[in-house]
Amino acid sequence: MKLTGSNFPWLSMTTGITLVVILPILLIVVYALGADSEVLEHLKETVLLDYVKNTAFLLLSVSILSLIFGVGSAFIVTFYDFKFHNIYAIGLILPFAIPSYILGFIYSDVFGYFSYFHIFLMDLGINSYFDVLNFNTVSIVLALALYPYIYLIVRASFLKNANTLLNPALTLGMSRTKALIKVVLPLSRVAIAGGLTLVLMETISEYGVVSYYGVNTLSTAIFSSWFGMNDSGSAAYISSIAMVFILVILIVEKFSQGKAKFSLESSSAPLKKIKLKGIKLIGAYTFLSIPLFFGFILPIVWIIVYTFEYAKDSFDIEFFSVIINSFLASSFASFAIIAISIILAYTYRIIPNFYTKYITKFATLGYSMPGAVIAIGIIILFGDFDNYLINTFELEGLLLSGTLFALVFGYIVRFLAVGLNSIIASFEKVGININKASRNLGKTPLKTLFHIELPILKNSILVAYLLVFIDTIKELPLTLILRPFDYETLATKTYELAINEMVQESAVYALCIICICLIPIIFSLKAYK
């Protein structure tokens, strides 16, 4: 549609919202370029290079393990037939419900020094001690927590294209193994690259596990610079390095797709699966059981046991205060994100040109940034604004910094992409003709949206709200930095109890997070049977 007087306010709102949302990220770049302090020079001369190397090696190790778990599991459950096939297909999604920092706390408690496992070994006469608080364990924990990104995306690609690609190859005489390796996997490389990109971005963002296990990465360096040294310039400089990592990952992912475009005819022919027997069946069960057992079953059993043992002392005023704090912050943020997403998506819907296409993409830039990076950008932004008000109007106290508004704004910058992508997809399903018909009958864009399109999309909007709500509930690094003083959420309370060697007491808070995170998985189970 052409830009008209009735459309112009939507374009103005979209432009203004996008500028506000990306401002913290831009400030990181500005402050990084001007960073010059003794603290930063000391970091450059001593440990910064090690932080960069640790981050790079962590990305490499997590990506390898996640690809093995994700692609391997998707490959087996899609192309082979065996008993309990559907149970494994669904169960392999469940590790999504356990945030990586909770998984890390549990495994430290299970396998750490004087843990149940260590005591069991001593009872057997094995007195050797092995340290689990190391780089290798962090890699395994993150891979167990993040491989479902690859599993879900790759399996969806396999299910969509497998019968179209595999059956003709088999008919032409190609062996099944050769067809899978030379036909199906290469044509699924875009899906594999997409899932791996999400894994890598989450790995860079991770703070809870790496800090707890004593592995120094760029994420921990940002926290150290801000909380330990109170140096915003150094924090911004290190944040900019993390942004470079993200940028490189996105560029590599983009180029990995190349210019390939695949157009596949749909096929109603059933996918021919191989019935596994003997040693191959045992191998498949073993391979699939490793991520399912260690990624979900063992930690959830451990958490439930601890909850029943210690929950009787946990249901106090503090517990319900944490629940209320979490729901308030996440509810406010989710409502704001969905409202903003509707504005941005509707603008692109009624003005589908080059400008609106890319301005909406810029608005989602925060989702590719680590939570700690966004938090530092917001602290710089709000700190400068508060200082301006204090110096200009002689106000006492901070107006924005350290408030619930700062936390909610951080969630908006970080998770706007989740709501926006969901709303855009919902609008596309409805189609544009209903909007054009309403406009031709004299309805304004606003009336068309509120009276016609939003009622149609109410279920999709609810799903988008839930997805955003869950992401904000389990977000840790951003919440740790931006939360108001003495304001605890489920994520921060779980983390603080765990780092104070109170993993048992943290179980009830961790279980609350897991139960909330299970909601979208339950809604989506039918799609992956």
47-70: pLDDT as tens digits = 999 999 999 999 999 999 999 999
Whether residue 279 has pLDDT greater than 90? yes
pLDDT digits (tens, 9 = 90+) for 417-447: 999 999 998 888 888 888 888 888 888 888 8
Distance CA 163, CA 159 (A): 8
Q: Is residue 218 within 8 Å of residue 58, measured between CB atoms? A: no
**Any idea what DSSP says for residue 293?**
I
| Burial readout 110-145 (b: 16 or more C-beta within 10 A, e: otherwise) | bbbeebeebeeeeeeeeeeeeebbebebbbbbbbbb
Provide the whole-model pTM.
0.89
In the structure, what pLDDT confidence band is assigned to residue 179 with cuts at 50, 70 and 90? confident
In this prediction, residues 80-87 reach a mean pLDDT of 89
Distance CA 74, CA 83 (A): 16
Count of C-beta atoms within a 10 Å radius of residue 187: 18
Whether residue 500 has pLDDT greater than 60? yes
* pLDDT, position 33: 84
Q: Is residue 516 within 8 Å of residue 473, measured between CB atoms? A: yes
* pLDDT, position 146: 95
Least confident span in 15-29, 128-142, 205-219, 344-358: 128-142
Task: Report which of residues 354 and 122 the model is more confident about.
Answer: 354
* pLDDT, position 344: 95
* pLDDT, position 391: 85
In the structure, what pLDDT confidence band is assigned to residue 315 with cuts at 50, 70 and 90? confident
Whether residue 83 has pLDDT greater than 70? yes
Both tokens assigned to 505 = 């007491």
* pLDDT, position 101: 93
- The number of C-alpha atoms within 13 Å of 371 and in the hemisphere containing its C-beta is 26
**Any idea what DSSP says for residue 313?**
G
Both tokens assigned to 221 = 């360096």
Distance CA 260, CA 365 (A): 25
In this prediction, residues 487-516 reach a mean pLDDT of 92
Q: Is residue 468 within 8 Å of residue 517, measured between CB atoms? A: no
Contacts of 470 (CB under 8 A, 6+ apart): 516, 517, 519, 520
Whether residue 4 has pLDDT greater than 80? no
H/E stretch holding 467 = helix 458-474
Contacts of 273 (CB under 8 A, 6+ apart): 79, 80, 81
Distance CA 93, CA 279 (A): 25
**What SS3 state is found at 274?**
strand
Distance CA 147, CA 471 (A): 17
**What SS3 state is found at 296?**
helix
Average pLDDT over the chain, rounded to an integer: 87
Q: Is residue 490 within 8 Å of residue 472, measured between CB atoms? A: no
pLDDT digits (tens, 9 = 90+) for 93-117: 999 889 999 999 999 888 877 777 7
CA 224 vs. chain centroid, Å, equals 23
Q: Is residue 51 within 8 Å of residue 244, measured between CB atoms? A: no
* pLDDT, position 165: 67
Provide the angle, in degrees to the nearest 10, between the axes of the packed helices 404-430 and 8-33.
Answer: 130
CA-closest candidate to residue 465, choices 514, 426, 496? 426
Task: Report which of residues 121 and 246 the model is more confident about.
Answer: 246
* pLDDT, position 527: 47
φ/ψ (deg, to 5) at 174? -75, 140
Whether residue 260 has pLDDT greater than 70? no
**What SS3 state is found at 81?**
strand
Work out the end-to-end distance of the chain between its first and last CA atoms, rounded to an integer number of angstroms. Answer: 41
Least confident span in 137-151, 319-333, 346-360, 514-528: 514-528
Distances (CA, A) of 479 to 12, 26, 372, 403, 474: 31, 20, 9, 11, 9
In this prediction, residues 457-472 reach a mean pLDDT of 90
* pLDDT, position 501: 82
**What SS3 state is found at 476?**
coil
* pLDDT, position 528: 46
Whether residue 497 has pLDDT greater than 80? yes
Distances (CA, A) of 214 to 54, 134, 208: 11, 7, 10
- CB-based burial of residue 83 (10 Å sphere; 0-12 exposed, 13-18 middle, 19+ buried)? exposed
Both tokens assigned to 412 = 């908006």
Contacts of 115 (CB under 8 A, 6+ apart): 108, 109
Q: Could you give the percent of the chain with pLDDT greater than 70?
A: 92
